[in-house]
Amino acid sequence: MYNNPMNMNMKIILSFIVVAWCSFAYADFTNYIGMRFVDIKQGEFHMGSCNGGAFLYTLPSKASDLQLPRTSSMLCPCNSSPDPQANTNEYPQHKVRITRHIQMGQYETTVNQFRSFISAMNRNDLLTPAFNATNKIADQAVTYVSWRDVMDFIQWLNANKPSDDKGNYRLPSEAEWEYSARAESVTHYYFDDNPVNLHRYAWYHANSNVEGPFVVGKKIPNAWALYDMHGNVWEWVRDWYQQYQDATQTVDPLGPQSGAYRVVRGGSWKSTQTDARSAARRPSLPGLRSNYVGFRVVRDITHQ
């Protein structure tokens, strides 16, 4: 049979891509309960979206004074294309510098890892019918965890680490989360602007046939080897929620000192393509437990 040289070349290229992608599945550190972490280098990026004209975001309370007017005339500081899907709470797009040396969790925290904390601390109060009904698979992203539950988990994680683990575990800041999700990309998703390929990178409403999250790490990671930064579960970050026009910090921003809402990032298995974008963000009450919100952990190694 005649072999088309172009087809053969394409097969070679595709094989190289597959090998290169698989080689990303490494970890720079694995901790005592099996959480894998990847080095995140310091740098700058443009946070948020450059055009928030499509949707007017409303807080889950009466907060019309915090809403921005629609606009379609904004320029894109990072030379990206305008994002017609953007919510007004994603702009103005602004430059942020990350100076801390961190390691980001390669995967969302799993059921098995969170159950280690429940067992060790005798936190049977967390084993509600809803928690048990959803969190059945060991390597599935854990859900039905509030922001406060996550703080308890992280406190336990730090208190019981072995002496040779010099890192400090915490939630990522919102800026660290987006910086890591983008992995030097300036597009709407970390792969490009077109959501037609989103199913290869994320679990979201269009390809989720179950009522709950999936096993972590089954989709294509970003350029920094982080999995499920788009979809699967919304992820808690450490910040209190604020509108970006109120933000004043540009170096390692941590958000306001207080507030009513925390922030979740990344979208979930039930989200639309809009909520799975790198810049998408939502305010959420810190006591919320649901089957679409989980978290991943940062290991802070700045002072090692």
pLDDT digits (tens, 9 = 90+) for 266-289: 999 999 999 999 999 999 999 999
C-alpha–C-alpha distance, residues 253 and 45, integer Å: 13
pLDDT class of 51 with cuts at 50, 70, 90 = confident
Distance of CA 88 to the CA centre of its chain: 19
Sorted by where each begins, the domain ranges of the chain are 29-300
**Is 80 a residue whose pLDDT tops 90?**
no
pLDDT digits (tens, 9 = 90+) for 94-116: 999 999 999 999 999 999 999 99
Q: What is the pLDDT of residue 302?
A: 56
Q: What is the pLDDT of residue 1?
A: 42
CA 198 vs CA 11, 24, 87, 180, 231: distances in Å = 23, 19, 19, 18, 9
What average pLDDT score do residues 12-30 get? 52
What average pLDDT score do residues 211-223 get? 96
Q: What is the pLDDT of residue 210?
A: 82
Tell me if 37 sits within 8 A of 29, measured CB to CB. Answer: yes
Of 76-90, 195-209, 210-224, the one with minimum mean pLDDT is 76-90
6 compared with 156, residue with greater pLDDT: 156
C-alpha–C-alpha distance, residues 76 and 186, integer Å: 10
DSSP 200: G
pTM value is 0.85
pLDDT class of 33 with cuts at 50, 70, 90 = very high
pLDDT class of 75 with cuts at 50, 70, 90 = low
Report the percentage of the chain scoring pLDDT > 70: 82
CA 292 vs CA 7, 131, 136, 295: distances in Å = 42, 12, 14, 10
Mention the CATH class of domain 29-300.
Answer: alpha beta
